[in-house]
Amino acid sequence: MGSTGPSSDIHRFPMQPLNRFQGVSASIKRPREVAHFSYDDSHTYRDDGSSISYYCPPQLGADLKEGFDTFRHYEETEDPHLDSLLQALMTQEKKRGGTREKADFVTWRGMMTKIMTAPFDMFAEFSMFATMYEGTIYIEEDFPARHADRQAQANRPPPRYQDPRQQSHQMMTYWGYKFETLALLPTPPAETPQEVIQNRIRERVSNHAQHCSIISTSFGPHTLLLGGEVDGLSGPKPPPSSNQPIPWVELKTSEELPPNPANRDVLKFERKLLKFWAQSFLLGVPKIIVGWRSKVGILKGVQEFETGKIPGMVRRGTGCWDGNVCINFAAAFLGYLRDTVKGGGLYRVTLRKKSGAVEVQRVGEGTGDIVSRDFLSWREEAQ
Ligand code: A3P
Ligand code: MG
Ligand code: MG
């Protein structure tokens, strides 16, 4: 699959026809957590579970816009590469006396979400870097490109006329975090004093602290180590040796549906569900909790969705996407990367809007800082 473009070093993996990915999905292993880490309230890396949060239903009627002017917003200004993920893997391997988690791919969950959802998003676009080191392909986001996009967006002049009910992009980013603050606690609800639960509504919102889970999974014949943020737990975390699923929850906000939603409202929500599902499915997050908000950001209700039931729900609903196609597409694409990103060197992996093919091109020597220096020297020492 795929062909070599006019310039011999651009390789193309076509998106269409999608029917080549239909049918039963490639075998998938249930994700198993192999390591984890936290960022504390100043976004400093910590080798522990200190930033794990716990779900406790929020008070309805809250205004998600409240506190916007005191938001402690963490935005990356420097390329994070895969540094924290590799740091956590190194630490874990040392703890286990050198037993290595081997995989064909190592990346952030966000990169896999972009790949998996691309077949059903005409406007999908992404840019990533990939490199092979010791038989494993490491994939990271093209941070300079994302950073430039964000700067351009921030510098764009506001439209001459704006509907006063239309909320700014910054506000819409804020209320997702506000919902998290209203629905999470730093300790399990049963161990938390009532006043702490009640006071969440006045708490200052910050996105500095995070907890990240690193899991091992596979797509068909390809094994992966994926790291990503998990919002909280809905019950105790089982001991690692038990091999039980972890009751993580993913929190999302979405505009409430009218009592008798028109087909286009359902379609809009089910399209959103594709991103919700892929993101949670990849890390093995079993439950997604949607906070329904009004147009102007009042929290109207919460609804729990079982991640594993979402593809069936959409199949019986608008049928606007097919989870098996997403999985098979991702498995085929990973195979293509293994055939293309070979030997040394840095590759750019790009999907441009409506271009119809993912392009893979070798753009430099070495590993381009995708694999951190600490990780490289540690591996060299181990040889
Ligand atoms: P919502 O998803 O409810 O809008 P996550 O859901 O992945 O845990 O992210 C938490 C919140 O971060 C989101 O809540 C949203 O407010 C903000 N956020 C995440 N990704 C974003 C993006 N690409 N652009 C803008 N805001 C984003
Ligand atoms: Mg999150
Ligand atoms: Mg969330």
Give the global pTM.
0.95
Ligand 1: atom nearest CA of 231 is 8
| Ligand 1 binding pocket mutation candidate from 72, 252, 271, 283 (most atoms within 8 A of CB) | 252
Neighbour tally for 372: CB within 10 Å = 19
Q: Which ligand is nearest to the CA of 250?
A: 3
The secondary structure of 187-236 as a DSSP string is S-GGGS-HHHHHGGGGSPPB---EEEEEEEEEETTEEEEEEEEE-EESSP
Question: Separation of 177 CA from ligand 1 center, angstroms?
Answer: 7
Q: pLDDT per position in the chain (383 positions), as tens?
A: 444 333 448 999 999 999 999 988 888 889 999 999 999 999 999 999 999 999 999 999 999 999 999 999 999 999 999 999 999 999 999 998 878 889 999 999 999 999 999 999 989 999 999 999 999 999 999 999 999 988 888 888 777 777 777 788 899 999 999 999 999 999 999 999 999 999 999 999 999 999 999 999 999 999 999 999 999 999 999 998 888 999 999 999 999 999 999 999 999 999 999 999 999 999 999 999 999 999 999 999 999 999 999 999 999 999 999 999 999 999 999 999 999 998 889 999 999 998 899 999 999 999 999 999 999 999 888 87
For every residue of 3-14, DSSP letters joined together read: EE-SSTTEEEEE
Residue 337's closest CA among 58, 106, 164, 180? Answer: 106
Q: Which atom of ligand 1 is nearest to the CA of 174?
A: 16
Q: 381: burial class by Cβ within 10 Å (0-12, 13-18, 19+)? A: exposed
Which residue owns the Cα nearest ligand 1 atom 27? 173
Of ligand 1's atoms, which has the minimum distance to the CA of residue 279? 7
Residue with CA nearest ligand 1 atom 26: 173
Gap from CA of 253 to ligand 2 centroid (Å): 11
Length of the chain: 383
